Amino acid sequence: MDKNMLLKNIEEKIKSIYKEEYKPEFFEIMKSTIEKFEGKCFDKVEDISEKNIYLITYGDSIYEEGMPTIDSLNKFLNNKVGDSITDIHILPMFEYTSDDGFSVVDYMKIDEKLGNWDNINMISKDYRLMYDFVANHISKSSNWFKGYLNGEEKYQNYFIPKDETFDYSKVVRPRTSPLIHEYESKNGTKTAWTTFSEDQIDINIKYFPVLIETTEILLNYALNGATSIRLDAIGFLWKESGTSCIHLPQTHMIIQLWRIILDYFKPNTQIITETNVPHLENISYFGDTKNEAHMVYQFALPPLTLHAFTEHDSTKLTNWASTIDKVSDKATYFNFLSSHDGIGMRPTEGILTEEEKQVLVDKTITNGGRVSYKNNEDGTKSVYELNINYLDALLNKDEDIEEDLQVQKILSAHSLLLSFIGVPAIYYHSLLGSRNYYKGVEESGINRRINREKLEYNRICEELESDSRRNKIFTKFKKLIDTRKSESAFSPYGTQKVLDFGNEIFSLERENKETNEKILYIVNITSKEKTLDCGVRGVNILDESRIDGKLTLKPYGFAWIKVK
């Protein structure tokens, strides 16, 4: 795209966003902003492929006394993980005040304990990096909000005060905390919209200077090493009276605007939207599949996989997965089972019954986890997420007793993650075979801390050798990843077909039509041995055994059959 076409597209998009409030100077200001980045050195980014595997981690997940934690993380990855992982999602790495990073004080200042931009630059030499852009809200300790409270003219429209004429009745809430909070200011009490907490103040992107600020931040992330940018809680960005204030058309158009700009300056930089909502709402962020998000979080996958391995019944997972196939040659899914947050339950709406959801809630509590709730429009509360280490969530305590069977079940569930169409993202505690971190919950009172333990470098290195459970999960997981990366049938832009071998089996056929490679994935989701006629001849690339139609799978066993 040449510059004239870029500017034409930008002007059209801004007019669509602001409609009757659009002013010609909006375009001129955005044009000047864009021109600041002309001639700057943006790194070249290769498009994603079957070789891309993301690791989700905090910048201080691995630490050593007296060292910037990014350096410790980099050392650990190089020494222990190697090139099994290609992309590192560093959860918010900026100065913050709460929510383990998601209340950013300064969008460009690296948290001092992590290091600085030089440390980030060092790790970017070994791994592609994904940055979090917490675009919906900012810390109350930020200069922006301090300026708002102090009466500084620049910031008076950066936030959204309570408006008696605004109809809030349909606003979707992900939390049980108040939507509006009060703050003491230089001139008395001020109010502000707070979707998530009293310390996380929603920014007012309807005010054009805020769109300019956020666009500059996005471009600076791309300029400073980001090859992927995660738009956190992006669905809540735009607010309109009388609406749900989630997934509004203007939010979609802002993402499309940012894609136009990133495609110009740094093509193949992945825009990844994080919207923990029902599936059809979630995939709306693909736009026309070529003009909005490159990837969307596959939020239905974690709870449906958990359901299948809990009930030993793949019916719901199979029915849902049958609706998932190739998006386009430029868009795909960001797949995960575990993350820094809990297991979101909203994506199961319309898929699991209330009774089926309750089974997962009860199991979570039995297995030592916690449950978080949200407020509904009718004044009731419903389950928002399950807070538990995913490896602990998988285990059925009455049958998954032996360590080897537990390890096999964990690997089995993650084989599904690695097989599903899209790009797999693995949470660091899953790769390292961790358990529930009760101390974190008890000390903080924060449910999500159960899956956010920080690990001292020497201790985790030693435990990966001495702790048999950690060692088995880590070594076998890495081998599984490395095998997967060598097969073009797992291209994120390939195709996927769900096959039905009964409710105790889950199966996918993955194919890359460009290379004519096809892999049949079959997993036994029960604790009993299963034999079936898979109907194909080929080689199970996991152990090089030949398959001639008949296949026997051990408890939680799985196969990747390269079809000949």
Domains of the chain: 54-132+209-493 (3.20.20.80), 496-563 (2.60.40.1180)
Q: Is residue 203 helix, strand or coil?
A: strand
% residues pLDDT > 70 (the chain): 100
- Contact between 506 and 525 under an 8 Å Cβ cutoff? The reply is yes
Q: Residue 378: is its pLDDT beyond 80?
A: no
Q: Mean pLDDT over residues 408-420, rounded?
A: 98
Compute the distance between CA of residue 470 and CA of residue 221 in angstroms, rounded to an integer: 35
**Please, are residues 235 and 280 in contact by the beta-carbon 8 Å criterion?**
no
Q: How far apart are CA 62 and CA 411, in angstroms?
A: 23
> Taking the C-alpha atoms of 99, 103, 105 and 108 in order, what is their torsion angle to the nearest 10 degrees?
100
> Does the active-site annotation cover 118?
no
Q: Which residues contact 378 (CB under 8 A, 6 or more apart)?
A: none
Percent of the chain predicted with pLDDT > 90: 96
pLDDT band of residue 1 (cuts 50, 70, 90) is confident
**d(C-alpha 515, C-alpha 518), whole Å:** 9
How would residue 137 be classed by pLDDT, with cut points 50, 70 and 90?
A: very high
> Does position 430 have pLDDT exceeding 90, yes or no?
yes
- Per the residue annotation, which of 71, 202, 232, 313 is the catalytic one? 232
Q: What is the mean pLDDT of residues 294-302?
A: 96
* Angle in degrees, CA 21, 22, 24, rounded to 5: 145
Q: Could you give the CA distance from residue 264 to residue 257 in angstroms, rounded to a whole number?
A: 11
Element (H, E) at 29: helix 24-35
Q: What is the pLDDT of residues 495-515, one digit of tens each?
A: 999 999 999 999 999 999 999
- Asked whether residue 185 carries a pLDDT value surpassing 80, the answer given is yes
Which segments are annotated as binding site? 99, 137, 230-232, 340-341, 448
Checking if the pLDDT of 305 tops 80, the result is yes
Please compute the mean of the pLDDT values over residues 275-288 and round it to a whole number: 91
3-state secondary structure of 497: strand
Rounded mean pLDDT of 208-232? Answer: 98
Please tell me which residue, 377 or 222, carries the higher pLDDT value: 222
| Helix, strand, or coil (residue 56) | strand
Sequence length of the chain is: 564
Where is the binding site for substrate, in residues? 99, 137, 230-232, 340-341, 448
Token pair 């290769």 in the structure block, residue: 46
Mean pLDDT in the chain? 96
Q: What is the pLDDT of residues 321-357, one digit of tens each?
A: 999 999 999 999 999 999 999 999 999 999 999 999 9
Positive or negative torsion for Cα 20, 23, 26, 31: positive
H or E element that contains 373: strand 370-375
pTM (two decimals): 0.96
- The whole-number pLDDT of residue 21 equals 96
pLDDT at 193 over 90: yes
Give the mean pLDDT of 466-470.
98
- Asked if residue 277 has pLDDT above 90, the reply is no
What pLDDT score does 279 carry?
A: 86
Q: Which residues of 245-268 are buried (b: 16+ CB within 10 A; e: fewer)?
A: bbbbebbbbbbbbbbbbbbbbbee
pLDDT score at 276: 82
d(CA 453, CA 434): 9
What mean pLDDT do residues 112-135 have?
A: 97
Alpha-carbon torsion 303, 175, 339, 321, what sign?
positive
**Angle between helices 117-124 and 69-76 in degrees, nearest 10:** 10
The number of beta carbons lying within 10 Å of the beta carbon of residue 98 is 16
Residues 439-460: what's their mean pLDDT? 97
